[in-house]
Each structure stands twice: as structure tokens, then as C-alpha cells.
Amino acid sequence: MKKRVTFGSRIGVILATVGCAVGLGNIWRFPYMLGVNGGAAFLLIYIGCIIILGLPVMLTEFFIGRHSRKNAAGAFKVMAPGTVWSVIGYNGVLAAFLILGFYFVVAGWTLEYIVQAASGSLNGKSATEFATEFSDFSSSVFRPIMWTVIFIAFTHFVIISGVKNGIERASKVLMPVLFLILIILCVRSVTLPNAEAGLSFLFNPDFSKINSSVILSGMGQAFFSLSVGMGCLITYSSYFGKETNLQRTALEVTVLDSLVALLAGVIIFPAVFSFGIEPTAGPELVFITLPNVFSQLPFGSLWSFIFYVLLALAALTSTISLHEVATAYVHEEYHMIRSRAALIVSLDTVVFAVISSLSLGILKEYTIFGLTFFDFLDYVTAKIMLPFGGMLICIFVGTRVDRKILKAELTNEGTVPFYFFNTYSFFMKYIAPVAIGLVFLNELGLINLITSQFK
Ligand code: TRP
């Protein structure tokens, strides 16, 4: 049997997985969702979902991946041949295409900001000017599409030339630098005038803001940010070595990922309140807020240049992971050479990304269920497909896998202890699927419908 490639070192495992998890989801999507969903109450729900749902689902994906040593769709064919469980894999592959359809657009925006920072044109503008310029830019036809296509080309290049190693090595330096810059920005942000209002928005929950849509958004954000629910981590963990400590890796990735999101919140909200920006601004929030913070720093252009480069790289390590899920599937399922499979994926995502970019400008009038194409892709993937996939993953392992096999894999054949195995197993088997199911029913209004019968 051909020996399967595995990650070289423990740090390689962590970096690749953190690289997949940390991206625009933490720095762009988290603050935007928090702003739209009323602040601190959303944060609590998000953290709750990370602990109760995200962590158990991540560990379960690690189990499936390393146990089967297959890609997202293949894993279910090996573990449950001839059954409908492979629907989890198909849901995941489709989700990868759809996520890339809007993720590449936002990734493209980071490139525009790199160029703007380098040319010094982010200097000396008012908060209103930053906002108008962003909205002119994102709703225009040519430039956003150009950057999006360039970003797809970068991702494509990495996927076909396997410079993953280089990226891994580079991440060892770049990720800590990103962390450092985030800390510097935090300090600058919390010392701005009126920063307390932002911190209070972020940390002082107003429980009356909680409703079914806030809960669904918090759950969606937890899944999206941790990259769980669609088999991405099944694919990654299929490359883990047999000595990799799955429990510790899951915990480290979850903590780091949540920390980056939290730092992003602490940077954005004090600044939002200090500069009089609307917290509910939506997808543009980060792009209209950060330039104001940079302009308050000495050597602002330099800092913003470094920041946007790092943000683009963080996005790249995430787009690679999504592209890989789709490419591996097309490559294996249709027996196509890898480079052609990658090309098909890239070209398909160009089509999606172009439409979703245009849906913020000239195609704004064309909506699906009242959402622009961009928002629609974001909504169906994060709020429906990922939690749905996570629910099925738990039900699959909970009902089809012998506890002994599960425990043996998660303890590396009994060599690392798993003190909370029973708790984990209970959460994975019962709490997670039931909780996700209830959130769905609640959002659909079905719970209201049922309880109203008894009033
Ligand atoms: N988690 C990444 C982010 O926060 C995005 C991402 C990468 C993702 N791979 C994924 C989201 C798989 C869902 C599923 O930016």
C-alpha cells in the first residue's frame, strides 16, 4: 500500500489547521455579524456554540479524517459503503463552491487595500470619505472583479504547484506577526476617545436582543469560523500523523481561532463608536473602520500595508483549504488529473464570484428570497449547510461507529488520556444534533407554531 503523505511536524499540523480556520471569517465576518446582531448578546451565543457545538464537531471530523484517511466525500464511502451518508460529503463539496463564491470577492477587496495602502492614498481622509470610497469601489464593475480574479489565480497557483510547504514555512513567521499587529491595533483602538461605548457594545449583553435569527447567526458564525461542518477538516486530518494528539489540536485551534475573532472585535468596536460609524453597516464594516484606526497611528500607511498583506495571506490559507475540498473531489470522483480538476473548480468559482461581486452593484435589484446573490451565498452556507452538515456528522458517528473504535482513535490507541470522553461522546451524540435541530426548527417558526397550540 502506498504510504499516505502526512504533515511533517506538530507545528505543521497546527499551522495548517489554524491557517484554514483563521481568515476573513474572524477579522471581517465576525465583527460584521456581531454589529448586525446587536453586540454582546451575539458574542455570548457565538462562544456558547463554539464550546457546545464547534469543538465536538471538530473533534469528530478529526476522528473521521484520520480514521478513514480519505477526502470529505471518500471518507463516508469507506466508513459506510453503499449508504446515503455520503450526502455529507456532497453537501460539503457544494458548500465549498458556494463559500468561495463570496469569500473570493472579499479576499479581492484586501488586495485593493494593499495597493491603496502602498500608494499612500488611505492617508488623511475623514470617516465619511472612507465609507463613500469603499461603497463606490465595491459597487463598481471592473476593479473588484479584477482583484477577485487575481486572488482566484493565486489560489489556483498554490493548489496546482503544491507550494503548500512554502506557505506552511512562511506561516510560521506570518501568523505570529499578524497576532502582534492585532495586539498593537487593540491598544490603539481602546485608547481612542469614546472607546468605552464600543467595549460596552461588545461585552455588555442586552438579552432582549436575542431572537431566533441572532441564535442562528451565532451558530453559523461558530461553524464558519472554525471551518467545521463540511468536511474540510476531514480532509486536513486525513494527513495528520498517527501520533498527532487530536484532542489537543482541536482545543488549540479552537482557542486560537476564537482569540483572533475576539481581538478583531476589540479593535473594531471602540473605533466604530469613536468615529461615529454605524455598527450595523454590514459587510463593509471592517473596511470602513480600520483605515480610521491606521490613520491615528504613526507610520499609518506602513502599518496598514503590512496588515492588509497579512489579512490577504490569512484569507489565502483559507481559500486554499476550500479549493482543495472541491478539487480533491473532482479529481478523485471523476478520475480527472489534478490540474484539470483544479482548473474546473477555479473557472466555476470565477463565475460565482463575478456574479456575487456584481450583486453588490449593478445586479443589486436581482434578489433571491430578498437577498443579493452575495448575501444569499453567505446565508445558505454558514447558516444552513454547515450546521446541517455538522448535525449529520454527529449523527453518523453517534449511530454508526463503535465507541471503542472512536475512543481508540481519539486516544491514539490508549496512549494519550481522554478524561472527558464520556462528556464529549454525550455532547456529540445527543446535545449537538438536538441543539442544531432545534435552532433550525425555531428559525423556521415551527416551535412557535407547536407551542401556540398549547396556549
Ligand atoms: N474558517 C475560515 C475563516 O474563518 C473560512 C473557511 C475555510 C471555511 N475553510 C472552511 C469555512 C470550511 C467553512 C468551512 O475565514
14: cell is: 497546527
- Contact (Cβ atoms closer than 8 angstroms) between residue 198 and residue 43: no
Q: What is the pLDDT of residue 195?
A: 94
Distance 313 CA to ligand 1 centre (A): 14
Does 418 sit in the ligand 1 pocket, CB within 6 Å?
Answer: no
Q: What is the pLDDT of residue 120?
A: 85
Q: What is the pLDDT of residue 124?
A: 79
Residue 1 makes CB contacts below 8 A (sequence gap 6+) with: none
Q: What is the pLDDT of residue 1?
A: 42
Q: What is the pLDDT of residue 51?
A: 96
Mean pLDDT across the chain = 91
Task: Kindly tell me if the per-residue pLDDT of 447 is higher than 70.
Answer: no
Between these two residues, 264 and 303, which has the higher pLDDT value? 264
DSSP characters over 14-25: HHHHHHHHSSHI
Task: Kindly tell me if the per-residue pLDDT of 379 is higher than 90.
Answer: yes
pLDDT band at 121 (very low <50, low <70, confident <90, very high): confident
Task: Kindly tell me if the per-residue pLDDT of 454 is higher than 90.
Answer: no
Most distant CA atoms of the chain, gap in Å: 65
**What are the φ/ψ torsions at residue 285 (nearest 5 degrees)?**
-45, -55
Task: Kindly tell me if the per-residue pLDDT of 201 is higher than 90.
Answer: yes
Task: Give, for ligand 1, the residue of 155, 322, 384, 385 to mutate: max count of ligand atoms closer than 8 Å to Cβ.
Answer: 322
Lowest pLDDT segment from 8-17, 137-146, 403-412: 8-17
Interatomic CA distance for residues 42 and 203, integer angstroms: 10
Q: What is the pLDDT of residue 6?
A: 65
CA nearest 219: which of 23, 442, 399, 449? 442
Torsion of CA 386, 391, 394, 398, to 10 degrees: -160
Q: Tell me the average pLDDT across 142-153.
A: 97
Q: Tell me the average pLDDT across 291-318.
A: 90
Interatomic CA distance for residues 255 and 257, integer angstroms: 6
Atom of ligand 1 at shortest range from CA of 223: 13
Interatomic CA distance for residues 453 and 441, integer angstroms: 16
Atom of ligand 1 at shortest range from CA of 381: 13
DSSP characters over 131-192: HHHHHHHHTSSHHHHHHHHHHHHHHHHHHHHTTHHHHHHHHHHHHHHHHHHHHHHHHHHHTS
Task: Kindly tell me if the per-residue pLDDT of 163 is higher than 60.
Answer: no
The whole-model pTM stands at: 0.94
Task: Kindly tell me if the per-residue pLDDT of 173 is higher than 80.
Answer: no
**Segment (H or E) for 35:** helix 30-36
CA nearest 34: which of 193, 228, 268? 268
Does 185 sit in the ligand 1 pocket, CB within 6 Å?
Answer: no
Task: Give, for ligand 1, the residue of 18, 20, 237 to mutate: max count of ligand atoms closer than 8 Å to Cβ.
Answer: 20
